[in-house]
Amino acid sequence: MEDNYTSDMILIDRLSEFYPVNSWSWNEGEIIELDDIACAIHEGQPEEPELFGDNWKHPCMESKSIEWHIGRILYFIKNPEEIRDIEVDNLYNGDYIFHVPSIIDGNHRFMVAM
């Protein structure tokens, strides 16, 4: 990582306490497991450099396939210097803010960092 990085740092180990370690899901009912990623690496699946989207800068207008999400993960595995700027907020309900983090942008990066 760059020495002059000036944004906040997050503790991946602490954040991972709130998220599954061996699987991930972007589409309901479609689970991506670590074994799926290992197979994709072994089979030479191409990486996906296209941004997925967030709620502010790059809204996602359509669902992406499991293969696309695995390709995005492979992109960050091959470009670890881009595993940065994961945006985290807390869950809330009305005026109540809970001590539970929520990743707003950066799920693919977070999965690779774990």
DSSP 38-89: HHHHHHTPPP--S----SSSS---S---HHHHHHHHHHHHH-GGG----EEE
Residue 10 in domain: no
Longest dimension (CA), the chain: 49
Residue 11 in domain: no
* pLDDT higher than 90, residue 19: no
Is 104 in contact with 87 (CB distance < 8 Å)? yes
Domain that holds residue 83: 21-113
Residue 90 in domain: yes
* pLDDT higher than 80, residue 45: yes
Q: What is the total count of domains within the chain?
A: 1
Higher pLDDT, 98 or 20: 98
* pLDDT higher than 80, residue 42: yes
Residue 1 in domain: no
Residue 93 in domain: yes
Residue 16 in domain: no
Residue type, 65: S
Residue 8 in domain: no
* pLDDT higher than 70, residue 57: no
* pLDDT higher than 60, residue 112: yes
Residue 13 in domain: no
Q: Using CA atoms, how far apart are residues 10 and 104, in angstroms rounded to an integer?
A: 14
